[in-house]
């Protein structure tokens, strides 16, 4: 190999120039290659969230998407899902700024009557470990699917029974799935509502429910539903109604 | 120094995190779980190997005065490659690691190896050095991540060891990173002296 | 009001060092004495604000304009590296006194990930230019606050009789952990 190059001005400029040129050419090429997968990955995330929160559909919700601007300047996105031309549900990308830090973005799916079908947390900056519990907390618990921890398994071997997972009525107070924000009070029980907050994360829970409520309000406005009138009222009458209308709930 | 020693020094004698105390930002920033630590470690390992490889090949052609800027450009290119590829194929992990992926470029381990080893050695030892250092770094990050995940949530690599309710949340949060690393280094110091 | 939120958030709630883990190397490296910590803070503040402005303009008028956002990492690190050199040269000529005070810290700054980190975060947060300046300034103050507090603690730490294994870096890290815990008390105020 040739000896060490002298540090003359021309040498330095030339070397730096060549290195930068090669680097940017390589990166430009790679960028073209990865452009599609990156765009796809982004889209997939949204599509997956939509699929998760609404019943089975056969249209392309992204194509029928419409937006509603909120006073803060942010937009709610609505993705109607239809099966054979009939509306089966609407996924709403909603948000709140009431969280612990910054925005919380949630995709929530409503059945045509406004009942929550399912939800998926898209993005949040809440306390890690607590805020992340949002992803599952408000969903119904299936006791058969709860994974036992190693300690519990070992305990079982020596005859100690693992603590029962709260299912049924008590577990269901956490869940928002199958409930209708129009008839049930979508605030945490601490504020007199009907939903149990995440342990030690009341603020994040309030924020989450607020996002769902916002989505519901706008969804109902869009669908010209009369039920909107009593949204957000804290009367006990609404909670009673809620128990009746809540088919999947264990309380009725 | 033979190749074997050259490879293993990154794990124990000159471990970037526990002994040299380099690359602390990603070490503390992304190790809230074992899998994040491993992902970050492997991304850094790739950059280390590739930049060591290229630099050992071209270093004789680079005048001394522009050595560091040239190295930085080479390293930054590989960091961008990692960034783009991860965004395309492992978007979830990419999102978790966030700003720390572009920050691999200022990870002192990478530039340090380029300057101290690759620019003075031939191709094969440079690659081995990069691999050893990188995997040692990955090991440290995974260990720290596993410790924090275990105490914080009762899981390791998402496998439940004890019930999450009994976890000490502080270990997943910012202070836990400092505490866990502090005690880990203390233990390793004690073991090395024994 | 928005600016106040940005400032409080960057200094206390999302402190660059204690909550975001940026700039840990100087945080551990130059925190043995309060006086050096203050000098480092000065240098970092200066470069951070300058670098954020320059990288912001480059992102908006070069990278975005030509659609070559993927060159961000390379461009930013080069800009920061050359900026540090430039500041060093200019400072030497214009204000030898200031150069005396900050000079030794300048070369260390290129690999301070807080600078690059803040520059990238400014773009990610989609700030306008004024917000970017406020954000970078506040981040630098947050960095300084953490650094000076930590240096004060460490000066006392040297006098404590600790078990052998834990003396030095481990003790410093544990103290940093406690400091981070104290800063967590600020979370939720914005």
| B113-132: average pLDDT | 90
Q: Cβ of C187 and A23 within 8 Å?
A: no
Query: A223 phi and psi, to 5 degrees?
Result: -95, 15
The shortest CB-CB distance from A149 to any of B81, B87, B163 is to: B163
Of all residues in chain B, the one with the smallest CA distance to A34 is B88
Q: Could you give the CA distance from residue C139 to residue C20 in angstroms, rounded to a whole number? A: 11
Q: Which of C20, C22, C177 sits opposite B182 (nearest CB)?
A: C177
Q: Which domain holds residue C143?
A: 17-185
What's the pLDDT score for residue C70?
86
Say yes or no to pLDDT of A231 above 60: no
Instruction: Over range A29-44, report the average pLDDT.
Output: 87
Q: Is the pLDDT of residue A232 over 50?
A: no
A153 touches chain B (CB under 8 A): no
Both tokens assigned to A28: 């430009």
Distance to chain C for A42, nearest Cα, Å: 16
Q: Is residue C2 part of a domain?
A: no
Closest Cα of chain A to C190: distance in Å?
A: 7
How do the domains of chain B map onto residue ranges? 3-193
Pick the more confident residue, C55 or C67.
C55
What is the model's pLDDT at position C54?
Answer: 95
Q: What angle do CA B134, B136, B139 make, to 5 degrees?
A: 110
Confidence of residue A250 (pLDDT cuts 50, 70, 90): very low
Q: Report the gap between the CA of A35 and the closest CA in chain B (Å).
A: 8
Q: A124 has which bridge partners?
A: A104
Give the number of other Cβ atoms within 10 Å of residue B31's Cβ.
Answer: 30
| pLDDT for the residue numbered A145 | 67
Per-residue b/e over A135-160, b at no fewer than 16 CB within 10 Å? eebbebbeeeeeeebebbeebeeeee
Whether the predicted pLDDT of C17 surpasses 60:
yes
**A38 reaches B (C-beta below 8 A):** yes
Q: Which residue of B has its CA nearest to C85?
A: B69
Nearest to C71 among A24, A101, A127 (CB): A24
- Tokens in use for B127? 């690659």
C: neighbours with 3+ CB pairs under 8 Å? Answer: A, B
Euclidean distance between CA atoms B4 and B172, whole angstroms: 36
Please report the pLDDT score of residue C43 as a whole number.
84
> Under a CB-based contact definition with an 8 Å cutoff, are residues A211 and A94 in contact?
yes
Residue A12 touches chain B, beta carbons under 8 Å: yes
Residues B102, C73: C-beta atoms closer than 8 Å: yes
All residues of chain B having their beta carbon less than 8 Å from the beta carbon of residue A16 are: 66, 69-70, 73
Is the model's pLDDT at B36 over the cut of 70? yes
**ipTM (interface predicted TM):** 0.87
Asked if A101 and C187 come within 8 Å (Cβ–Cβ), the reply is yes
Average pLDDT for B107-131: 89
**Chain-centre distance for alpha carbon C26:** 9
Confidence of residue C111 (pLDDT cuts 50, 70, 90): confident
Which SS3 state, helix, strand or coil, does residue B12 take? coil
Flag if C188 and A27 touch (Cβ within 8 Å).
no
From chain C, pick out residues whose CB is under 8 angstroms from the CB of B181.
173
C188 touches chain A (CB under 8 A): yes
* A interface test, pick of C5, C8, C71, C121 with most A CB neighbours within 10 Å: C71
Per the structure, the count of domains in chain C is 1
Q: What is the pLDDT of residue C101?
A: 73
Tokens of A96: 């709140």
Q: Which residue has the higher pLDDT, C57 or A66?
A: C57
pLDDT(B101) > 80: yes
Structure tokens at C156: 């006392």
- What tokens does B15 get? 């471990």
Query: What would the two tokens of residue B107 be?
Result: 């990870």
- pLDDT computed for residue A237 by the predictor: 39
pLDDT digits (tens, 9 = 90+) for A163-175: 666 555 555 677 8
The answer as to whether C130 is a domain residue is yes
Out of B22, B99, B174, the one facing C180 most closely (by C-beta) is: B174
In a domain, C7, yes or no: no
Q: Do A203 and C188 touch (CB under 8 A)?
A: yes
pLDDT band, very low/low/confident/very high, at B141 (cuts 50, 70, 90): very high
Name the pLDDT band for B146 (thresholds 50, 70, 90): very high
Residues of A in contact with B93 (CB under 8 A): none
Does any CB of chain B come closer than 8 Å to the CB of residue A16?
yes
Q: What is the model's pLDDT at position A165?
A: 61
Min Cα distance A129 → chain B (Å) is: 7
Question: Any CB–CB contact under 8 A between C14 and chain A?
Answer: yes
Residue C187: list chain A partners with CB under 8 A.
100-101, 127
Residue A31: list chain C partners with CB under 8 A.
Answer: 70
Q: Does A25 touch chain B (CB under 8 A)?
A: no
pTM for this entry: 0.82
pLDDT at C49 over 70: yes
Q: For residue A245, is pLDDT > 60?
A: no
What share of chain C in percent tops pLDDT 90?
36
Could you read off the pLDDT of A106-127 as tens digits, one per residue?
899 888 888 888 888 888 877 7
- Mean per-residue pLDDT for A241-249? 37
Task: Kindly report the nearest CA distance between residue C139 and chain A, in angstroms.
Answer: 17
């Amino acid at each position: 190999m040739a000896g060490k190059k002298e540090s003359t001005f021309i040498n330095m400029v030339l070397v730096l120039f060549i290195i930068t040129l090669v680097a940017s050419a390589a990166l430009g090429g790679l960028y073209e290659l990865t452009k599609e997968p990156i765009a796809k990955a982004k889209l997939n995330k949204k599509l997956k969230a939509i699929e998760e929160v609404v019943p089975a559909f056969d249209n392309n919700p992204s194509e029928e998407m419409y937006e509603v601007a909120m006073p803060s300047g942010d937009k709610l996105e609505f993705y109607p899902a239809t099966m054979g031309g009939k509306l089966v549900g609407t996924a709403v990308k909603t948000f709140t700024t009431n969280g612990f830090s910054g925005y919380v973005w949630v995709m929530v799916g409503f059945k045509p009557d406004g009942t929550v079908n399912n939800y998926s947390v898209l993005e949040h900056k809440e306390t890690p470990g607590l805020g992340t519990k949002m992803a599952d907390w408000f969903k119904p618990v299936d006791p058969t699917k709860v994974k036992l921890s190693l300690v519990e398994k070992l305990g079982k071997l020596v005859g100690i029974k693992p603590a029962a997972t709260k299912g049924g009525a008590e577990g269901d107070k956490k869940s928002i799935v199958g409930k209708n924000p129009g008839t049930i009070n979508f605030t945490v029980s601490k504020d007199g509502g009907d939903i149990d907050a995440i342990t030690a994360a009341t603020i994040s829970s309030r924020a989450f429910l607020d996002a769902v409520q916002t989505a519901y309000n706008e969804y109902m406005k869009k669908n010209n539903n009369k039920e909107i009138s009593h949204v957000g009222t804290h009367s006990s009458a609404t909670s009673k109604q809620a128990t009746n209308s809540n088919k999947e709930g264990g309380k009725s | 120094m033979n190749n074997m020693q050259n490879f293993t020094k990154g794990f124990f004698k000159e471990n970037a995190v526990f002994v040299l105390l380099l690359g602390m930002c990603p070490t503390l920033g992304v190790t809230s779980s074992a899998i994040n630590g491993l992902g970050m470690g492997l991304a850094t390992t790739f950059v280390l190997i590739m930049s060591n490889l290229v630099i050992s090949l071209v270093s004789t052609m680079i005048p001394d005065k522009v050595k560091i800027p040239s190295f930085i450009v080479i390293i930054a290119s590989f960091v961008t490659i990692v960034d783009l590829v991860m965004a395309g194929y492992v978007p979830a992990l990419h999102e978790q690691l966030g700003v720390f992926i572009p920050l691999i470029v200022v990870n002192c381990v990478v530039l340090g190896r380029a300057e101290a080893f690759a620019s003075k050695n031939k191709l094969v030892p440079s690659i081995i050095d990069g691999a050893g250092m990188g995997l040692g770094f990955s090991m440290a990050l995974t260990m720290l991540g596993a410790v924090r995940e275990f105490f914080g949530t009762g899981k390791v690599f998402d496998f439940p060891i004890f019930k999450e309710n009994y976890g000490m949340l502080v270990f997943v949060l910012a202070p836990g990173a400092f505490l866990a690393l502090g005690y880990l280094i203390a233990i390793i110091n004690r073991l090395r002296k024994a | 009001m928005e600016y106040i939120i940005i400032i409080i958030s960057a200094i206390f709630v999302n402190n660059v060092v204690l909550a975001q883990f940026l700039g840990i190397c100087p945080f551990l490296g130059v925190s043995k004495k309060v006086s050096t910590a203050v000098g480092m803070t000065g240098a970092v503040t200066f470069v951070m604000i300058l670098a954020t402005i320059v990288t912001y303009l480059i992102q908006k008028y070069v990278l975005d304009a030509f659609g070559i956002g993927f060159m961000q990492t390379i461009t930013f690190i080069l800009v920061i590296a050359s900026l540090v050199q430039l500041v060093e040269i200019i400072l030497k000529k214009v204000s030898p006194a200031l150069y005396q005070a900050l000079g030794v810290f300048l070369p260390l700054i290129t690999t301070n990930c807080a600078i690059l980190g803040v520059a990238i975060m400014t773009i990610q947060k989609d700030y306008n230019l004024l917000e970017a300046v406020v954000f970078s300034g506040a981040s630098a103050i947050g960095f300084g606050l953490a650094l000076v507090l930590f240096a004060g603690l460490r000066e006392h730490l040297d006098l404590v009789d600790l078990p052998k294994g834990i003396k030095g870096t481990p003790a410093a890290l544990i103290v940093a952990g406690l400091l981070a815990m104290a800063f967590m008390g600020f979370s939720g105020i914005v």
